[in-house]
Amino acid sequence: MPRRVLLGATACLSILGLDRLLTACSSSGAGTGTAGAAPGPAAPAAPAADSYRLRPFTSGSAARTTPPRQPLPVRAEAALTLATPGKKIAITLDDGPHPTYTPQVLKLLRTYKVPGTFFVIGENAHSHPDLVRAIADEGHVVANHSWSHPQLDTLSQKRVRRELGDTCDIIQDILGAPPDLARAPYGAWDKASLTVCAELGMEPLGWSVDTNDWARPGTSSIAGSVLEGAHSGAIVLTHDGGGDRSQTVTALGQVLPKLLDRGYELVLPTAPPV
């Protein structure tokens, strides 16, 4: 069965450090935040008690500007499926990094030797730079999910630029390079936010399989959403932050081996052709 193994020597070198990080972080309290609802024009679900939307916007680098990047063509919408053909699936995780759940997810991805794409919140990346480095060191992708998780299509273009630009800044500060992918909270892109995304050199990415794990519907529901919705080119939406993600971690432990047994290759997403 085909399996794409991206986590080679670098992953091996980082196992000890990440296991220590997991032990150190397991005693930390859960962070605050919420997760994305469904893609498209549907109104976002009401935020939970631990929602980012209950928090005021606080920029991590308001006085800075994102380093110049080569602008990309402005997309009409975010890609919902993979550009690469074949029986491939991408696992994506939003709203982290979280000191409890992100290390657990990384351990699972390492166990099954599969890659993941982590759309991080800028505030959380600023608070947990070691986790951002751990994600990248293990061969996964760190992507942009805004600074404070607002609904971008309700903001001014200037505010959108701060949300996405500040997150590019903090990722570059931590990893030495800005992100190539972005996901709007709630999947709520509009022309203005897509324009900013392109100007910052990022491709917008959505999803085609929504686990609704942000609502904590139960492990069986999350796992069932992935296994029943799996298809060639699928982009699966899950969360490693924004609240208690223990159900998601358990579900991933169930679905990853089953996807591999079904012959799926777990991959990192690529942008569709222009």
Catalytic residues: 94, 239
8 Å CB contact between 209 and 62: no
**Helices and strands: H and E segment counts in the chain:** 8, 8
Nearest of 57, 35, 34, 40 to residue 188 by alpha carbon: 40
DSSP 191-227: HHHHHHHHHTT-EEB--SEE--GGG---HHHHHHHHH
d(CA 13, CA 249): 23
Helix axes 9-25, 129-137, angle to 10 degrees: 150
Beta pairing, strands 209-210 & 265-266: unpaired
Q: What is the chain's percent helix, strand, coil content, to nearest 5?
A: 40, 10, 45
Would you call 235 helix, strand, or coil by DSSP? Answer: strand
Q: String of b and e for 94-121 (b: at least 16 CB within 10 Å)?
A: bbbbbbbbbbbbbbbbbebbbbbbbbbb
